Amino acid sequence: MDLSHIFVRIYVNGLNLLSLYRITARKAKIMSEINPCLSCGACCAYYRASFYWAEADDATPGGVPSHMTEKLNDFRRVMIGTNQNKPRCIALAGEIGNAVFCSIYENRSSVCRDFEPSWSGGRPNERCDNARIAWGLSPLEPNIDNAPDNLPRAA
Ligand code: SF4
Ligand code: SF4
């Protein structure tokens, strides 16, 4: 739905809100096309994110912030919030399906680093598709230029 007509006559500090709306919408579209994870986040609120215990920063400096993890068993930890019904990782910020980011992106675990959006390697990822579907989002299309590794990814 195009809401731009609502803003036609509205100005704030000399800025036409219609222009702001268009710029913001264009920016969001560009970011989404560059990295679809930035407007998704579904996998971070669908799967359990567990990893070898020593990936946490109390064992490995610069690792996963340990205060955001909890013990899963003698060998593995899990991101708080993902080992429960209706999971949502404690580190996920934003609104799923709209605008999200991983608040510990540089320190996220191997399981998160290894999770690829569909078609990022030229092939679908069924787990990505299933998480998106569960959140009412369409699976990614193969023609989208997905997720170069130099941009934040939600999972
Ligand atoms: S990997 Fe897939 S499910 Fe996870 S945030 Fe990216 S697009 Fe969404
Ligand atoms: S990528 Fe970040 S927000 Fe997503 S599950 Fe991993 S730590 Fe949590």
**Entry field: residues in the chain:** 155
CA–centroid distance, 96 to ligand 2, in Å, is 12
Single-letter residue type at 14: G
CB 111 near ligand 2, within 6 Å: no
Nearest to 144 by CA among 1, 30, 46: 30
Element housing 96 (H / E): none
Q: What pTM does this model have?
A: 0.77
Q: What is the pLDDT of residues 63-95, one digit of tens each?
A: 999 999 999 999 999 999 999 999 999 999 999
Considering the chain, what is the average pLDDT of its residues?
A: 83
Nearest to 42 by CA among 144, 129, 121: 129
CB 56 near ligand 2, within 6 Å: no
CA–centroid distance, 33 to ligand 2, in Å, is 20
CB 45 near ligand 2, within 6 Å: no
CA–centroid distance, 43 to ligand 1, in Å, is 6
* Predicted pLDDT of residue 155: 65
Quote the CA–CA distance of 151 and 138 in Å, as a whole number.
22
Could you tell me the maximum CA-CA distance found in the chain, to the nearest angstrom? 62
Pocket test for ligand 1, best of 128, 138, 145, 151 (most atoms within 8 A of CB): 128
* φ and ψ of 77, to 5 deg: -115, 170
Q: What is the pLDDT of residues 8-42, one digit of tens each?
A: 344 444 445 555 445 455 555 555 567 999 999 99
Q: Which residues contact 115 (CB under 8 A, 6 or more apart)?
A: 43, 125, 127, 128, 155
